[in-house]
Structure 1
Amino acid sequence: MAVLVVMFILFLVKSGAAQLNNTENNLNIPIRSFCGRNPPIVLSSFINNRNSTLAEIRRQLSSNDGFYATAQSLTEGDSVFGAAQCRNYLSTAQCVACFDAGVSELASCITGNGAYVFFDNCFVRYENYDNFYKDPNVVEDAGITPLGICGNQTAYQSETIFRQTVDALLADIKDATPKTKNFYVASTRKITNENATLYAIAQCVKDTTQAICQNCISTAYSYLSNCLPNTQGRFINMGCFARYSETPFFNDNQTIDITSFLKGRSSNVAVIAGAVGGVCLLLIMIVFLLWFRKRKNSKKKEQDTPDLNGAINYNYKDLQLATKDFSKENFLGKGGFGEVFKAILDDKSVVAVKKIEVEYAKAKEEFENEVKLICNVQHRNLLRLLGWSSEESHLLLVLEYMPNGSLDRFLWGPRRGTLNWKQRYDIIFGIARGLAHLHNEFHVKIVHRDIKSSNILLDHDFQPKIADFGLARFQPEDKSHVSTKFAGTLGYTAPEYALRGILSEKVDTYSFGIVILEIISGRRCTDTNSDKPSMDYLLEHAWKLYESKKHFEFIDETLDVNQNHEQHLMQIIEIALLCTQSPVSKRPTMSEVVSMLPNGLSLGNRQLTRPTLIDLERRVLVSYTTRGITNHNASGMQHELLAKEKLPNLNEEDKLDVMEKGMNVATVE
């Protein structure tokens, strides 16, 4: 059935594409695309949901002259949430044809649930979460960098006048686009004393906020200004698209009057151009002087950053050269908020360079503060920051290079089954020591927030190092927790944080427990137990085997465990379950975990209780504890529904904990 649907959509692609005129402006050639790397749980379910979602989007774009559409299909797991948007200068037929070209481009993306493709005329995107509808920059595992593309021809007559005119037009569009009803502007501008016209558009994703649109278009303005004096330029980001060209790509009667959005700014191009030209000249002089002084002092300014514990402030151009201009052959993978590349420095040392792109005004300041913090966090089980670079919008981290890559490669990736039990235990113990250092042994308490197998890197001796501190947050010593917006990876995230934003160091403890279960079982936490009658996720599967005293069935089938290791391994499973308990007070600290691990579990007065389980598709609570609460609806959040008479079978501790989370009890046993 899935194959038939794919063939049907590809047929629509071919028939739709034929409706376009074969002109330079209407050729739907991809200019940016990406296929996700996290494989779907069940491929056939994913394909069916994707096809259903894309078919509904096509139906919406085909009717009522719509330029933006969203749809989703959530049946049988592997949910697919999709969105597509066309430029407003297209006809309906052209919009659908562009969408069809996008569907054709993404048809082969079956390696992961999540993908996108950008054309000049439209974009198509789908993910397995719906947060990106309102905030297109939201991603689950990785950041998406903006992209500027400049033409290869410069202005053929007066370069100065061309530069000034384009800059003035782009400035007007930057100010006007976020203020329009549909976040779209198309405008033209005559070039003074020349028989030529400039064409430019800007468009934000329709469902986003004005603030996000403003930030995105401001970044677009900066990128496109750097294209000058080239005769065309494009800017692509998840939240917006902008383009200018001296060649028409929309009709003159399709422009938008933006005068009312400029709030009294002079429309006299000559005045604007003169002012901009003067400022540009001054900026050019300043930039040149700064560049000259930087080159004179040094390419590496280690002496200027004595508080960074030996970390080097690298020159961006040097790192660009060391990574072969961030080439595909040097690509190592994606982490939170950036891509990672292998780099060989001048002294022949091998490092990893993480390329981060951010878009808001204080990002650079926050980045530098974070660098100063991480540079001073030194531990054998924490990935060491060797240096950094912060030039304009380019933010780079220079990190230790880990030759064996990430832990997940050895659990379910290409090297599955190559780790023995001693190596796995050493990895578990090393992660625990690294977290204990972050929580208790540094001068401030740091919560990592994104502990998962892909963020554990292995050195040449398979010793673990915790990586990717992009989501790390301080926890004040006088606070048991802080409230913050959720950021992390579902499946690894503690329920009180995923549902209520309650963040404490015990969030890392929970994630650590999940990673232990992955290391022992060799399975992803989001994998369902599909070879059994149930469809339990990993945590629930582990708990049920523990309840029935069948621990051994949970162990990775590729792991050769002898009798001497069996008891110790069972105890480590119990420690993992202890770390994933609710309420939060029942979880041990990471320092306690470090003391438990060498000799196995020492419960003392503790008693293992069933963990809180979350439906990862709907992000709602499945069950709470064996003592009375099941089938919770985490979307209610109404404390008044938790009146005492509605909780007859709970003791006072349970009532308090449920009310703290604000959960809406649906049934009580």
Structure 2
Amino acid sequence: MSALVVVVLIVLLVTKLGVAQSSNKTTTNNTDHINTPLTFFCGTNYAMSPTTFFGNLNSTFSQLRSQLSNSGVYYARAHGSENEDAVYGVAQCRNYLSSTECLACFDVAVSILQPTCGFANGAHVFLDNCFLRFENYDQYYDDPQGTLDVDVTEICGNESTSQPATTFNQAVKELLSDIRVATPRTSDFYIASTRQVASGANATIYAIAQCVENASHTICKNCLGTAYNKLYRCLPADEGRAINMACFMRYSKFPFFQNNQTINLIPFLDKGSSSKPGIIIGVSSSAGLLLIIVLFLWFQRWSKSKAIGKDTSESQGARCYSYEDLKLATNNFSDEYLIGKGGFGEVFKAIVDNGIVVAVKRLHVGLRAKKEFENEVNLNSNVRHRNLILQLGWCSDGPQLLLVLEYMPQGSLDKFLWGEKKGTLNWKQRSEIILGIARGLVHLHEEFHIKIIHRDIKSSNILLDDDFQPKIADFGLARFLPEDQTHVSTGFAGTMGYTAPEYATRGRLSEKVDTYSFGIVALEVISGRSCSDVNYSGARMEYLLDHAWQLYEKGIHIKLIDEAIDTNEYQEENVKKIIEIALMCTQPVSLRPTMSETYIMLSSEPQLMQRQMSRPTYNVDRRIHIGAT
């Protein structure tokens, strides 16, 4: 297996959603079935006889393809069992496909697994339009979830809906809830349906749910219940998928099946009443309730627009708030509303627009920054990603510069690592936080139409939502530093623990400055220690990065993990891999990976391509004192 092939394939997987979205957005009725790979896995056990194994594998694939070529067949299973290297396979297509489209997806799935997984005697791949799996045992036919410890994985779109979030979210949740209930009650465990967004914008939500046909009713129901809960996290993203061995659920504002391919949900939602008058009354009541909701939302929007008056305008999604309104919402920026302080200013909790909780950041910056403040704010307000704090609005009134931001009730990451909530994050939460930060930085560096370098990635700038998913704050603010301040301090006695050496000492700025800081934050998340904490080993004083490197050189870097984490929660190889990736991020700039390369490594299986690493470059004696953030 070529390492280059693997890297290219993983790059394709990482970029898949952006490609699919851009394709969909070019037309108002795009149902062309692009076979987008979502995720794949190669087993760690290998065939005893490659010749026998490949013979059985090819036989299995051939049988599966033959079955799927029949009209109306969307699920197939087959096996090749000559000698010991038996291969048992299963394939399933989405029911909205034609036989030709189904086979095309199956062929792509085979082309992914065969060259990539080599002699592995088990593997699977998910695509938008189909699923393929093979193993060297057949028990998983009857219990698709029981043979692998695989949770439902959500994959969210990178852009938020252009529709009003409240009505869009409600339409998606209601549609997904209905198909979650209906799908296990159908004969083939499949539902496709649509729902109108009640916003007057003539917007439609498309959604499907599908379980593996040989799953039990209970497995299908439980799997889709979890999928529904995971997809809820994607909102207000304009599309999302939930993937598991036993089920698949997807929604999108872009059509991916024909309007005549929907299935009537009512027979599968009705609790058993066969009275037609009852159904008519129910529908009439629902229509009346819908009318009331629409009128209420219209009145609420009208009231808001009237209250805003001349003090509010919108520019590319950024709302301009009046200073007086924000002053009133924070009780004149009183201490009782204060939730944080930083080098840029204070952060206050506020309630605006008839009940929306937000964070108001009052900036203390120089006059130079004010000249470009509005342009920069308008740019940042268009940055929408689930791992980046959403900028809701701004205010520029004389010397007063304020940002209105998404409110995160859990607060910042540092509080969970060494603050008042120390030790409360489990390993799964920590690993997802590391991956989410990487995903957010990839968006800033490569996916947004203008490259944004954060310059100040640190644990106090990572905020957590209710599901402990990370969101990067303060991106785009570094350029607003006063003229005499070249870098924001880390907030710990001015120690430059997060700052890349080439930037701190020579002012050399590139996106790899963020990569270095990410590596430091990842080590903090793993260890539960601040990068500026000192560990005394005899007469030697070690900061976190130095300590991590010493453990790595000795081959015992697993000892870096926070003792508060239960040893049953993680696999040592996975933790060691993430530590090694974090150390790669702190290498000299020429050897340091980009954030997209870092994300690829974090997203791949525990095996890591060996890279020659040297002692990280860091400055423990150089200090800058600018003020805490």
Calculate the TM-score normalised by the size of structure 2.
0.47
Calculate the TM-score normalised by the size of structure 1.
0.44
